[in-house]
Amino acid sequence: MTEPPLDVNECLGLSPEQLPRHIAIIMDGNGRWAKNQGLPRVAGHERGATTVRNIVTHCARLGIDTLTLFSFSTENWKRPEDEVEFLMGLYARYLIAERETIMNNNVRFLHVGRREGLPDNVLDEMDETVSVSADNTGLRLCLALNYGSRDEIVDAVRSIARDVRTGTLDPDQIDESMVSGSLYTAGLPDPDLLIRTANERRISNFLLWQLSYAEIYVCSVLWPEFSEQDLNGAIQDFARRERRFGNVESPTT
């Protein structure tokens, strides 16, 4: 069942114009949550998937344009084999189970990251979700899966270099816009707000180019316990920030 839109002023005490257009989240603390509960790490990932559903739905109801979730980095392949295998299975199950929620909430699903290395069943379910939601016009949900920002930049440079080599591009034509358009996130706005849970204070190779002017919000809540109210608090904190983008005064002043 489709959840009705939320009144932003009633819910947050803000106007729609004060909302971040693009929220990026580094979802930390699944393993710590499980340990605190005396459970195996995989239980934390399962609980974290429930949090994803709640936060995606809440963002869709608030009218957020884009939400990017850092789910599995290229470095995460170094984790224990059984944990990685569980996570890949979880992604496939999640994509199937949440397809109805995605469609009911008019969410457009996108993948951010490298396809190479992902299991076929994950790619199949991911492609199906991308396809069936392609005409949706609400929240754009970007799952950063098998993602590393340095890899992304390298891939972008390689793409541009190929055009230079074939003579279709003059090096002097290369600018910020061209680089942005060669990234996995081409066509999406840069994040306005980066949220990192579990009191971690690193960027961790996530959206290095795109986060240049993002406001960073760190909270101590572990991801499995991160609630809609916690997201509301991050958005309200964002709305109180003065964003100058290198200027003396805010562009809205």
The pLDDT value given to residue 215? 98
- DSSP label at residue 188: S
Domain boundaries, the chain: 20-146+191-240
Given the residues 28, 30, 105, 230, the one annotated as active site: 28
- DSSP label at residue 207: S
What pLDDT digit, counting tens, does each position of 110-145 carry? 999 999 999 999 999 999 999 999 999 999 999 999
* Mean per-residue pLDDT over the chain, rounded: 96
The pLDDT value given to residue 253? 52
For 127-160, the DSSP string reads HHHHHHTTT--S-EEEEEEEE-HHHHHHHHHHHH
Given the residues 65, 76, 155, 163, the one annotated as active site: 76
Q: What is the pTM of this model?
A: 0.95
Mark whether 190 is an active-site residue: no
Query: What's the whole-number mean pLDDT along residues 68-97?
Result: 96
Mark whether 105 is an active-site residue: no
pLDDT band of 151, cuts 50, 70, 90: very high
The pLDDT value given to residue 129? 98
The pLDDT value given to residue 244? 74
What pLDDT digit, counting tens, does each position of 204-243 carry? 999 999 999 999 999 999 999 999 999 999 999 999 999 8
Burial label for 101, CB within 10 Å (0-12, 13-18, 19+), is middle
CATH number among 1.10.760.10, 3.40.1180.10, 3.30.460.80, 3.30.2320.50, domain 20-146+191-240: 3.40.1180.10
Query: What's the whole-number mean pLDDT along residues 20-27?
Result: 98
The pLDDT value given to residue 2? 73
Q: Of all residues in the chain, what percent carry a pLDDT higher than 70?
A: 97
d(CA 16, CA 5): 12
What pLDDT digit, counting tens, does each position of 37-55 carry? 999 999 999 999 999 999 9
Alpha carbons within 13 A on the beta-carbon side of 44 = 20
